[in-house]
């Protein structure tokens, strides 16, 4: 706006000059030269006569043509900027022949090409405006000929090249504007010679280098805009000489260093925009000398320290914008003196403390954005003083307490999500009659909403997900003007109210992860505007209502994880706009309807874990042929076709090749037969194929090798023949290959080991023969190799040591001969080694036992001779397993036991019998306890016995109202459920210390010890699966850096796990959620946490068999004991790697910000995915920043921000400013750890180290401290 006002002033001055300064008009007619030139110019524009019709009226004098002004016989002005339509022609060459022209305006004409040289010879021209065209070329030095030029406007063209220093000779210039071109290089110092300049716009180009110090000569400058260039270096102190400046915009550059204190000289400055630079240091007090300032934008910089208290002097300030600026400390109360403030945006900083009460006086405020800070305390009631406020965003802070009644008549948007607010939601919130958008998700609100929002008549978006709200969904919600209703992840029960179906406006209904029951109401079809319906993970039963087919605007339908039965109604396929359809994990039966062909826009289909039968219809790929527009909020991954774990039979249809956009194909766990159709190789976007657990026959088609697959699982079929010879050379992107449990024969192609990205290879349970040949160029990324139960023979080659990342090697039950190669000992990452039942011979090479981290070895059933060498006996793994070495092979004679052995066996048998007897007595005691608790069980959990086992997902057996308790630690044997219920006062909310996985965590203090009790959510369909998964993994795990599972309890539908209590809570809490805690975590403590966590995760990946993938590594899942020793927790998402299954289910596990990029495509969990997540945790330790929220950089995530900083040589600035006082030695170590984090977060999984390698790298970094 200031620029436009100035340009108007310049034009006004020029008009006066044209009217009074030029010499008087000639009285003897028009010069023949100008007449002919105008007519010739008209002729050159004849093809665009409609744009300038007056030029072609025969009776009109040329001086009266549109845009022409004459001074008697001389043309002084040509202005074609106001034509009805653009000329869209090359720049008219004849323009340069009007030697006396003073005013030339050809803006907005869509002219092309370059300037003719003659234009630069128009020595009398005073104003030249060719903005908003398509002109190209460079500005020549002859531009200096325009000695009288006062206004030069070249905006929005494609001029390029360096800026000519000759412009500095145009000493009369008042305005220079080259916005939106392609100029590059340094800004010439000579520009500072333009001492009369009042407006300078260099914005949106590619200028680089520093601002010239000669700019201090612009003492008359009013407007200066150099935004969106590549300027670097500090802001010059000479900027303080520009004392008349009204507007200064240097945003979106790479300026560094602190703000110069001379900025305080700009007393008349009204607008200052420095956003998205690299300005550092404290915000100087001098900035508060800018008393005329109305607009201040300091966003996206790396300031340190607090917002100065003297900011209260800026009493004219309307806009204070400083998100993600590195600000710390508290919001200064003096900000309340800025009575004219309309917008405050201080989001994405580290501001702490409560909202100062002095802000209550900001009566003109209209928008407050303070999200993603560390603000604490309650939401103050004085906010009701902000009568003009329209938007309040306080999400992602630490605000606590209840939500006060707010009387804000103009407020249209309130976002308090991701805080620690609690209590019931007040109905007074509807006093804000204009409230349309209410976001309260991810808090601890409780109670019902029976009448809460009934008077919110303007409400369009209601988001209450991830709270503890309960009761029934109120019927009045259907009477509101809601567009979005998001109630997921609460404890709502009952049925969907019929009145909700009366809504005329709803576009999204999300009720997932509650305890809703009954049938899905058929009346839902009345909501004709509905586009997204998400009812997954509830207790809905009955059939899918036929009426859903009337929802013609529906694009996303998810009914996953309910108890739905019957066949899929054909009417559902009348929802022809469907993009995503998820009916997985129900009890649906019948064939997959051929009517699916009507869904032409479908790109995500999940029908897994049902009881579908029949064949896969040929019409299945009528959709999957068009890539949808991005809708990341509702479609997390497109291109998925998942029909796994049903009862489908027949052959895979050849029409599968029409599923063009399918990226993941999962048909595992059916009864499919026949050969793999070669047509599958015609799917260009396919990255993951799982056809395991079927009855497929025939050979592996060579056509498969032409695909760019990352995952291929053909295990547990009847596939025969040889593995194609070119398998490895063609499938260069493969990460996981599972061909186990088939009928494959012939040799294993050596080229498989040349796949650089391969981490998992299972070819066990086949009839493969020949030698295991690993070439010199073999992959070093392979973690898992299982070739057991084959017919491999020959010697084990030394080149096996090239597989340097190998963690598991299983070759048992083959016919491999010769001696064990000494090079095996170089496999430093090896944790599991099974070479049993082969024909190895000669003496045993004990250097294998020196491998650090080797947790399991088996060499039995071979032909080793002699005893274990004495030199091996110092190695624990060999001492534990030395009995398997002594003269044990397939054709050996029985070993005669010694008297000591017989005595040991006898004592062992006695001990086992005693344990069984104790167990029976304990079981009897538990049953008596169960009878006592059974009488009050309804008061505790309200659980009832299911009518049949079929009521529960995964066919959970009947659970009588009795108690089963088990412990993994002897000291807990006397704990019973009554003790835990008493210690938590029947799981009172006052004992809650956190949430994780499928339940809530409580603190339980018993005599002599404190425990953490995780109560799994009763009634959730997947709760039992979660419980069993944790028992199968955590119950066996014992490591100093893992949270130990001490026991568990089950009664009725109630299940809870007993953990060791961690006194210092989670790492996430100490890094961001506690203002005083941040300083307590100095670098040595953070490094100890980093190394210990790495050791714990490495044990899961490499030291425990079967290996465990965590799948949800994040800072909130790393707990700290009293000594700040880290313990990795929450294995609720863990899945054991087996020889035949490592896939994620249809729901992608993990937490946003930590999920590796490949998960969205392959949906395949790997250890390298955990490594990526752990790399994000390392970055959190180094930076103190959250994994998301880095605005405008690589999608807003911490990894992208780190890469952006490192690419610009700003590694040191990545480090947490709270660690800035660390010694140089610690800084060296921190940068070393940053390099490790960069490796862990590589986009390509095969480039990431294993966790064992991470531990070793961190140990190496430790030597720097």
φ, ψ at 434 (rounded to 5°): -95, 0
Lookup result for tokens 């002594």: 886
Paired with 484 in beta bridges are 461, 508
- Helix, strand, coil share (%) of the chain residues, nearest 5: 30, 20, 50
Chain length of the chain: 1265
Quote the CA–CA distance of 725 and 710 in Å, as a whole number: 19
Quote the CA–CA distance of 999 and 607 in Å, as a whole number: 27
Quote the CA–CA distance of 725 and 616 in Å, as a whole number: 31
Quote the CA–CA distance of 1156 and 1135 in Å, as a whole number: 17
Q: Can you tell me whether residue 906 is helix, strand or coil?
A: helix
φ, ψ at 378 (rounded to 5°): -85, 165
User: CB–CB of 653/617 below 8 Å?
Assistant: yes
- Give CA angle at 587 (585, 592), nearest 5°: 90
CB atoms within 10 A of CB 776: 7
Q: Measure Cα distances from 586 to 589, 808, 955 in Å.
A: 9, 36, 11
What stretches of 427-576 adopt beta strand conformation (E)? 437-439, 444-447, 461-463, 468-472, 484-486, 491-494, 508-510, 515-518, 532-534, 539-542, 556-558, 563-566
**DSSP symbols for 657-706:** GG-TT--EEE--SSEEEEPPPGGGGG-TT--EEE--SSEE-SPPPGGGGG
Q: Measure Cα distances from 392 to 412, 419, 437, 439, 710 in Å.
A: 9, 14, 10, 10, 45
Query: Around 878, how many Cα atoms within 13 Å sit in the side-chain half-sphere?
Result: 20
> Encoding tokens for residue 211?
């601002």
User: CB–CB of 215/239 below 8 Å?
Assistant: yes
Q: Which residues are part of the catalytic machinery?
A: 1112
Lookup result for tokens 């599968």: 656
Quote the CA–CA distance of 397 and 374 in Å, as a whole number: 5
Torsion of CA 1213, 1214, 1216, 1222, to 10 degrees: -60
Query: Around 569, how many Cα atoms within 13 Å sit in the side-chain half-sphere?
Result: 15
626 is in an annotated binding site: no
Q: Which residues contact 1256 (CB under 8 A, 6 or more apart)?
A: none
Quote the CA–CA distance of 1015 and 1028 in Å, as a whole number: 14
Long-range contacts of 294-297, Cβ-Cβ distance < 8 Å, separation of 24 or more: 294/270, 294/318, 294/319, 294/340, 295/270, 295/271, 295/319, 295/321, 296/272, 296/320, 296/321, 296/322, 297/251, 297/272, 297/273, 297/321, 297/322
Cis peptide before 9 (omega within 30 of 0): no
For the chain, helix (H) and strand (E) counts, in that order, are 17, 76
φ, ψ at 745 (rounded to 5°): -140, 180
Q: Which residues contact 9 (CB under 8 A, 6 or more apart)?
A: none
Paired with 833 in beta bridges are 809, 857
Query: Around 1248, how many Cα atoms within 13 Å sit in the side-chain half-sphere?
Result: 27
> What is the biggest distance separating any 2 CA atoms in the chain, rounded to whole angstroms?
140
Query: Around 1049, how many Cα atoms within 13 Å sit in the side-chain half-sphere?
Result: 26
The annotated binding site for ATP is made up of: 1014
The annotated binding site is made up of: 1014
């Amino acid at each position: 706006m200031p620029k436009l006002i100035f340009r108007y002033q310049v034009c006004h001055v020029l008009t006066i000059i044209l009217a009074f300064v030029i010499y008087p008009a000639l009285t003897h007619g028009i010069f023949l030269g100008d007449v002919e030139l105008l007519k010739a110019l008209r002729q050159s524009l004849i093809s665009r006569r409609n744009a300038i019709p007056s030029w072609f009226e025969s009776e009109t004098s040329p001086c009266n043509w549109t845009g022409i002004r004459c001074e008697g016989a001389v043309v002084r002005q040509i202005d074609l900027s106001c034509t009805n339509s653009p000329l869209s022609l090359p720049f008219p060459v004849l323009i340069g022949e009007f030697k006396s022209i003073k005013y030339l305006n050809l803006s907005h004409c869509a002219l092309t090409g370059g300037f003719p040289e003659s234009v630069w010879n128009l020595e009398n021209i005073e104003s030249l405006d060719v903005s908003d065209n398509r002109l190209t070329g460079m500005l020549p030095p002859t531009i200096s000929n325009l000695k009288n030029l006062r206004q030069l406007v070249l905006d929005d063209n494609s001029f390029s090249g360096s800026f000519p220093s000759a412009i500095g000779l145009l000493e009369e210039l008042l305005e220079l504007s080259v916005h939106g071109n392609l100029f590059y290089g340094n800004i010439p110092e000579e520009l500072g010679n333009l001492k009369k300049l009042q407006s300078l716009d260099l914005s949106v180009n590619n200028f680089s280098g520093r601002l010239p110090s000669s700019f201090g000569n612009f003492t008359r400058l009013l407007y200066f805009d150099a935004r969106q260039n590549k300027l670097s270096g500090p802001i010059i102190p000479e900027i303080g000489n520009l004392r008349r400046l009204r507007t200064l915009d240097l945003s979106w550059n790479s300026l560094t260093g602190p703000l110069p204190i001379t900025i305080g000289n700009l007393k008349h400055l009204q607008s200052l925009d420095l956003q998205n630079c690299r300005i550092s240091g404290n915000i100087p007090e001098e900035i508060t000398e800018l008393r005329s300032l109305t607009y201040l934008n300091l966003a996206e910089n790396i300031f340190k320290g607090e917002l100065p208290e003297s900011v209260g002097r800026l009493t004219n300030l309307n806009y204070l914008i400083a998100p993600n600026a590195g600000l710390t400390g508290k919001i200064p109360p003096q900000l309340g003196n800025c009575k004219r403030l309309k917008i405050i945006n201080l989001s994405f900083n580290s501001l702490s403390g409560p909202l100062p009460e002095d802000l209550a006086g900001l009566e003109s405020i209209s928008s407050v954005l303070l999200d993603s800070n560390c603000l604490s305390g309650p939401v103050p009631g004085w906010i009701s003083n902000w009568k003009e406020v329209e938007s309040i965003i306080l999400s992602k802070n630490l605000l606590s307490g209840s939500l006060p009644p707010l009387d804000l008549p103009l407020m249209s948007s309130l976002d308090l999500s991701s805080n620690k607010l609690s209590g019931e939601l007040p109905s007074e919130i509807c006093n804000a009659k204009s409230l349309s958008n209410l976001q309260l998700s991810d808090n601890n609100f409780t109670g019902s909403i029976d009448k809460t929002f009934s008077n919110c008549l303007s409400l369009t978006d209601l988001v209450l997900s991830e709270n503890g709200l309960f009761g029934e969904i109120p019927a009045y919600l259907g009477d509101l003007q809601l567009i979005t209703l998001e109630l997921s992840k609460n404890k709502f029960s009952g049925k969907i109210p019929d009145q909700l179906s009366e809504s005329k406006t709803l576009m999204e209904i999300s009720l997932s992860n509650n305890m809703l029951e009954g049938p899905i109401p058929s009346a839902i079809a009345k909501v004709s505007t509905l586009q997204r319906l998400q009812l997954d993970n509830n207790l809905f039963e009955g059939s899918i209502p036929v009426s859903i087919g009337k929802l013609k605007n529906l694009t996303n339908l998810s009914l996953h994880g309910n108890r739905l039965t019957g066949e899929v109604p054909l009417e559902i396929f009348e929802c022809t706009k469907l993009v995503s359809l998820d009916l997985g994990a129900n009890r649906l039966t019948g064939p997959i309807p051929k009517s699916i062909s009507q869904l032409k826009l479908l790109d995500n289909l999940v029908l897994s874990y049902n009881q579908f039968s029949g064949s896969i219809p040929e019409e299945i790929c009528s959709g999957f042929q068009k890539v949808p527009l991005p809708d990341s909020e509702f479609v997390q991954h497109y291109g998925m076709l998942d029909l796994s774990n049903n009862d489908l039979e027949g052959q895979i249809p050849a029409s599968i090749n029409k599923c063009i956009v399918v990226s993941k194909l999962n048909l595992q766990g059916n009864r499919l037969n026949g050969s793999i159709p070669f047509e599958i190789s015609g799917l260009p976007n396919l990255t993951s194929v799982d056809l395991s657990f079927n009855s497929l026959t025939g050979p592996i088609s060579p056509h498969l090798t032409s695909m760019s697959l990352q995952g291929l699982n053909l295990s547990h079929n009847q596939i025969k023949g040889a593995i194609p010879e070119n398998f490895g050379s063609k499938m260069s992107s493969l990460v996981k290959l599972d061909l186990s449990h088939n009928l494959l024969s012939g040799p294993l192609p050596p080229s498989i080991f040349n796949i650089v990205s391969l981490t998992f290879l299972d070819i066990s349970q086949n009839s493969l023969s020949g030698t295991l040949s690993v070439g010199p160029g073999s992959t070093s990324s392979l973690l898992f190799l299982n070739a057991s139960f084959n017919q491999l023979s020959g010697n084990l080659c030394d080149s096996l040591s090239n597989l340097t990342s190998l963690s598991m090697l299983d070759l048992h039950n083959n016919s491999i001969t010769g001696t064990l190669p000494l090079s095996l000992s170089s496999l430093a990452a090896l944790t599991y080694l099974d070479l049993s039942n082969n024909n190895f011979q000669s003496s045993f090479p004990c250097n294998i036992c020196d491998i650090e981290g080797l947790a399991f070895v088996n060499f039995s059933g071979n032909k080793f001779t002699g005893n274990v060498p004495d030199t091996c006996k110092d190695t624990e793994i060999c001492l534990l397993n030395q009995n398997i070495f002594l003269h044990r092979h397939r054709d050996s004679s029985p070993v005669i036991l010694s008297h000591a052995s017989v005595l040991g066996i006898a004592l062992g048998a006695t001990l086992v019998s005693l344990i069984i007897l104790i167990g029976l007595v304990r079981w009897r005691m538990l049953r008596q306890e169960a009878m006592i608790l059974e009488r009050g069980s309804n008061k505790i959990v309200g659980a009832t016995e299911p009518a049949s086992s079929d009521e529960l997902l995964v066919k959970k057996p009947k659970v009588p109202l009795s108690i089963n308790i088990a412990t993994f630690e002897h000291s807990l044997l006397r704990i019973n459920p009554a003790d835990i219920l008493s210690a938590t006062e029947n799981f009172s909310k006052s004992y809650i210390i956190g949430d994780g996985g499928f339940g809530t965590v409580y603190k339980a203090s018993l005599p002599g010890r404190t425990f953490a009790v995780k109560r799994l959510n009763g009634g959730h369909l997947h709760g039992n699966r979660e419980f069993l998964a944790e028992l199968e993994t955590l119950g066996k795990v014992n490591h100093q850096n893992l949270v130990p599972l001490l026991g568990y309890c089950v009664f009725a539908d109630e299940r809870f796990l007993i953990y060791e209590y961690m006194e210092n809570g989670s790492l996430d809490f100490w890094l961001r959620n506690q203002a005083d805690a941040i300083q307590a975590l100095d670098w040595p403590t953070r490094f100890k946490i980093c190394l210990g966590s790495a050791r714990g995760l490495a044990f899961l990946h490499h030291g425990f068999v079967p290996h465990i993938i965590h799948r949800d590594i994040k800072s909130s899942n790393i707990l700290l004991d009293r000594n700040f020793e880290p313990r990795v927790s929450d294995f609720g998402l863990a899945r054991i790697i087996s020889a035949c299954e490592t896939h994620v289910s249809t729901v992608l596990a993990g937490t946003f910000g930590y999920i590796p990029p490949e998960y969205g495509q392959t949906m395949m969990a790997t250890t390298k995915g955990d490594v990526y997540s752990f790399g994000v945790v390392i970055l959190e330790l180094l930076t103190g920043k959250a994994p998301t929220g880095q605005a405008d950089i690589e999608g807003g995530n911490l990894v992208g921000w780190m890469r952006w900083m490192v690419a610009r040589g700003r590694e040191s600035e990545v480090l947490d400013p709270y660690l800035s006082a660390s010694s140089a030695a610690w800084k060296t170590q921190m940068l070393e750890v940053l390099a490790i984090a960069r490796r862990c977060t590589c986009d390509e999984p095969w480039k990431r180290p294993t966790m064992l390698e991470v531990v070793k790298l961190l140990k190496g970094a430790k030597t720097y401290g």
